């Protein structure tokens, strides 16, 4: 029997909360089908969505994200560089949204100081690789998402190989020099990058396409061999002001929304605009830059 016939037999018709008729595939049926055909759950979700069958877990997406758009998300790949405060939240949001493949790059391991804000961390994860924990946690949340873990620090030599094949790159780093490394790679590969940074109760987001001026609008120029902003880790805004749990959750939400808009080609993107958020004052302010070098 072909997989399409099995999926039709295992799916069922329901009415969503607004009373609309929908064909859905529950997780148990998806897992059984994957096992029977020697496939991954991701493969089964992709096949079902291509047939117009909605994995049950995505039912509450459908009023905002069409079936065709959910299929597009399922067939996309997003790279997240940094799996800590920002990156952990981004990874979980991407997984729940239904991004098909997430590439995670982070050389760090969890310690107790991460427990106040990093979504992938818990007491059992202490001492473990952040990138590899992303595989475990996402697998428990959404088995229909593939996660490729790279527990290495990104640099100019490996960035191209690590990020190649992604449709969007998320900058969830905590230092300026590495951000420029990722931006250089995104330019070389022709892939848009969603920048995010935070300190204290403030944060910022900007989407950078390969032809845009990008990070130099925010941080000025960068000299690989010289002294640059952020080189002294003890004096970075994150070190001085701390990182309470609320800020990364919000900035990561804005970054993930940018990823969705880029992939689905809908909505207004924060391109050549840095959105600054101050949670204490309740202000969200856009700073616009001219689109020129």
Query: Which residue spans within the chain are E strands per DSSP?
Result: 12-15, 21-25, 54-55, 77-81, 101-105, 146-150, 168-171, 193-199, 202-208, 273-278, 283-288
Burial of residue 221, with CB atoms counted within 10 A of its CB: 0-12 exposed, 13-18 middle, 19 or more buried: exposed
Do 220 and 288 touch, CB atoms closer than 8 A? no
Characterize the bridge pairing of strands 202-208 and 193-199: antiparallel
Q: What is the pLDDT of residue 223?
A: 65
Averaged pLDDT for residues 191-217? 96
Among 64-68, 282-286, 287-291, which is the least confidently predicted range? 287-291
Q: What is the pLDDT of residue 102?
A: 98
C-beta neighbour count of 289 within 10 angstroms: 16
pLDDT tens-digit profile of 162-201?
A: 999 999 999 999 999 999 999 999 999 999 999 999 999 9
pTM: 0.93
pLDDT tens-digit profile of 63-89?
A: 999 999 999 999 999 999 999 999 999
Q: What is the pLDDT of residue 293?
A: 46
Which residue ranges form the domains of the chain, and what is each CATH number?
Answer: 10-70 (no CATH), 76-288 (3.40.50.720)
């Amino acid at each position: 029997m072909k997989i399409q016939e099995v999926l039709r037999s295992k799916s069922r018709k329901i009415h969503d909360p607004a009373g609309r008729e929908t064909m859905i595939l529950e997780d148990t049926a998806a897992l059984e089908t994957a096992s029977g055909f020697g496939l991954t759950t991701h493969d089964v979700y992709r096949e079902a969505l291509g047939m117009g069958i909605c994995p049950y877990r995505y039912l509450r997406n459908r009023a905002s994200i069409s079936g065709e758009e959910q299929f597009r998300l399922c067939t996309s790949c997003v790279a997240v560089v940094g799996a800590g405060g920002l990156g952990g939240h981004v990874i979980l949001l991407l997984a729940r949204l239904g991004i098909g493949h997430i590439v995670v790059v982070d050389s760090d391991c969890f310690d107790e100081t991460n427990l106040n804000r990093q979504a992938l961390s818990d007491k059992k994860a202490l001492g473990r690789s952040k990138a590899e924990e992303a595989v475990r946690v996402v697998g428990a949340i959404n088995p229909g998402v593939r996660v490729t873990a790279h527990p290495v620090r990104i640099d100019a030599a490996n960035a191209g190989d690590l990020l190649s094949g992604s449709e969007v790159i998320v900058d969830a780093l905590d230092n300026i020099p590495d951000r420029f490394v990722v931006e250089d790679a995104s330019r070389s590969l022709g892939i848009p990058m969603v920048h995010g940074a935070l300190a204290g109760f403030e944060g910022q987001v900007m989407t950078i396409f390969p032809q845009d001026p990008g990070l130099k609008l925010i941080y000025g120029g960068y000299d690989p061999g010289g002294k640059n902003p952020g080189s002294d880790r003890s004096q970075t805004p994150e070190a001085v002001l701390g990182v309470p749990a609320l800020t990364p959750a919000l900035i990561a939400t804005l970054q993930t929304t940018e990823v969705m808009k880029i992939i689905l080609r809908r909505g207004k993107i924060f391109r050549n605009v840095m959105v600054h958020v101050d949670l204490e004052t309740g202000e969200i302010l856009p700073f616009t830059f001219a689109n020129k070098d």
